[in-house]
């Protein structure tokens, strides 16, 4: 092992998954995921139809130590083999974030290891680099249950926001509409399953922000219209077609805004390789992937989406963001704070604050 090889334990507790992973990054940047353990709390939240913050925090406390132990065991490494500990420090449900961050601080203190306080969104941003050779810079669509934004990613700590949602995140829209269709939580995968073989044109749904030429998203009108339509449905075929129309409408909006962002990005990066990455839980959706692949091909961008296990929340992406930060000498003190809100592009967020209450608080 060369001295510049880094082995990092990652911890992720910002929502309803308790996750730990060990990632090794060699001096030349090659990445190996030695383990990635995700303990889902779906069963604990399902009776409430969504994530209950107090239940999530308690479940993280109960399982984090065992899950971190499992990740080390599976990776075949001990605490003594680690170069650093990376923990999500936000944005997210702060009670949960505090659990993983405190655990990470305890390991760092006890073992004399550097701590890296990772932005969950930066984790999603690097997630495609876990299993594919995606060099910086790239255009990123980050589309999950708590976030929906387009970012120009130049490297670690260097993201510029090109567009964001002005109300709900796309995953949140999937989840809420799925609930009105009587589907179980989490709604995105259930709605995708229901939509199979459906007719996307049977129901007409509104299109958002038609008068605007920017890259912002809005899903609240779609959510209201779908809820109203869902109330009058009686047959399974009608529900299937509505699910299909909703999925098509979300995929269309994501593709339209991405297309706009690609045009601006390509203009700013003339003569360079153009790369597009989609990450976050909604990137698991096949229709969304298909629309985005078409757009990327038409605009001359390469298309990369992480493996499904790295699209949804996981700790391997946190460990990799931590390893990339550590390689640059970017570490944090044991006083690092848990942050419910933490925009990746702080300058853009300050210049154009969009404060909306969502499942994870304001969209960062």
Tell whether residue 172 is a contact of Zn ion (CB under 5 A). no
175 scored as a contact of ligand KG4 (CB under 6 A): yes
Query: Whole-number minimum distance, CB 199 to ligand KG4, in Å?
Result: 19
Kindly calculate the radius of gyration of the chain based on its CA atoms and give it in whole angstroms. Answer: 20
Residue 192 binds: one of ligand KG4, Zn ion, none (C-beta under 5 to 8 A by kind):
ligand KG4
* Token pair for 48: 């409430």
Closer residue to Zn ion, CB minimum distance, 63 or 314: 314
- Nearest one of 165, 166, 117 to 144, comparing CA atoms: 165
Alpha helical stretches, state H, the chain: 42-45, 53-75, 94-111, 120-126, 170-180, 187-195, 220-231, 236-268, 286-299, 308-311, 316-327, 346-351
Q: Distance between CA atoms of 176 and 223, rounded to whole angstroms?
A: 7
Token couple for 218: 């809005």
Q: Give which of Zn ion, ligand KG4, none residue 175 binds (C-beta under 5 to 8 Å, depending on kind).
A: ligand KG4
Considering only 187-195, 205-213, 291-299, 311-319, which stretch makes contact with Zn ion by CB under 5 A?
A: 311-319
Q: Is 189 in the site for ligand KG4 (CB under 6 A)?
A: yes
Considering only residues 214 to 243 of the shown chain, the ones binding Zn ion according to CB under 5 A are: none
Instruction: Show contacts with ligand KG4 in window 29-48 (CB under 6 A).
Output: none
Task: Indicate the SS3 state at residue 10.
Answer: strand
By C-alpha distance, which of 96, 190, 91, 189 is closest to 149?
Answer: 91
| Min separation Cβ 192 and ligand KG4, Å | 4
Choose among Zn ion, ligand KG4, none what residue 96 binds, the Cβ cut-off being 5 to 8 Å by kind: none
Q: How far is the CB of 86 from ligand KG4 (least distance, A)?
A: 17
Q: Which of 140, 124, 125 is nearest to 303 (CA)?
A: 140
Residue count, binding to ligand KG4 (CB under 6 A): 19
Total Cβ atoms within 10 A of residue 3: 6
Is residue 168 near ligand KG4 by the rule CB under 6 A?
Answer: no
152: left (phi over 0), alpha (psi -120 to 50) or beta: beta
Does 49 bind ligand KG4 (CB under 6 A)? Our answer is: no
* N-term to C-term CA, the chain: 39
38 or 323, CB closer to ligand KG4? 38
- 18 in contact with Zn ion (CB under 5 A): no
Considering the complex, state which of residue 94 and residue 194 has its C-beta at the smaller distance from Zn ion: 94
Q: Which stretch binds ligand KG4 (CB under 6 A): 29-37, 80-88, 183-191, 348-356?
A: 183-191
Q: Are the C-beta atoms of 191 and 241 separated by less than 8 Å?
A: no
Q: Pick one of ligand KG4, Zn ion, none as the site partner of residue 343 (Cβ within 5 to 8 A by kind).
A: none
Q: At what angle do helices 236-268 and 170-180 cross, to 10 degrees?
A: 170
- Which spans of this chain sit near ligand KG4 (rule: CB under 6 A)? 15, 144-146, 171, 174-175, 186-189, 192, 280-282, 284-285, 312-313
- Which spans of this chain sit near Zn ion (rule: CB under 5 A)? 144, 313
């Amino acid at each position: 092992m060369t001295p510049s090889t880094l082995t990092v334990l990652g911890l992720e507790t910002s929502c309803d998954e308790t996750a730990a992973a060990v990632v090794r990054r060699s001096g030349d940047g090659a990445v190996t995921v030695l383990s990635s353990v995700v303990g889902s709390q779906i069963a604990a939240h399902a009776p409430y139809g969504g994530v209950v913050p107090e239940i999530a925090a308690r479940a993280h406390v109960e399982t984090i130590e065992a899950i971190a132990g499992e990740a080390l065991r599976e990776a075949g490494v001990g605490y003594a083999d680690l170069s650093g500990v990376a923990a999500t420090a936000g944005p997210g449900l702060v009670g949960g974030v505090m659990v993983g961050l405190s655990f990470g601080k305890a390991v760092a203190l006890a073992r004399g290891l550097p701590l890296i306080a990772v932005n969950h969104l930066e984790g999603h941003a690097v997630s495609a680099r876990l299993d594919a050779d995606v060099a910086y810079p790239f255009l990123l669509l980050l589309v999950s249950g708590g976030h929906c934004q387009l970012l120009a990613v130049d490297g670690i700590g260097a993201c510029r926001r090109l567009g964001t949602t002005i109300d709900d995140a796309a995953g949140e829209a999937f989840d809420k509409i799925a609930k009105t269709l009587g589907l179980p939580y989490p709604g995105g995968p259930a709605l995708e399953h229901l939509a199979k073989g459906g007719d996307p044109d049977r129901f007409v749904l509104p299109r958002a922000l038609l008068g605007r030429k920017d890259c912002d998203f809005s899903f609240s009108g779609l959510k209201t219209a779908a809820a109203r339509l869902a109330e009058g449905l009686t047959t399974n075929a009608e529900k299937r077609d509505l699910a299909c129309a909703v999925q098509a409408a979300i995929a269309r909006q994501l593709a339209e805004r991405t297309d706009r962002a690609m045009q601006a990005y390509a203009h700013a990066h003339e003569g360079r390789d153009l790369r597009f990455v989609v990450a976050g839980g909604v990137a698991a959706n096949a229709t969304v992937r298909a629309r985005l692949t078409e757009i990327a091909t038409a605009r001359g961008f390469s298309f990369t989406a992480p493996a499904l296990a790295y699209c949804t929340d996981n700790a391997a992406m946190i460990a990799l963001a931590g390893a990339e930060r550590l390689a640059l000498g970017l570490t944090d003190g044991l006083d690092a704070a848990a942050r419910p809100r933490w925009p990746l592009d702080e300058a853009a967020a300050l210049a154009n604050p969009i404060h909306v209450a969502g499942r994870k608080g304001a969209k960062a």
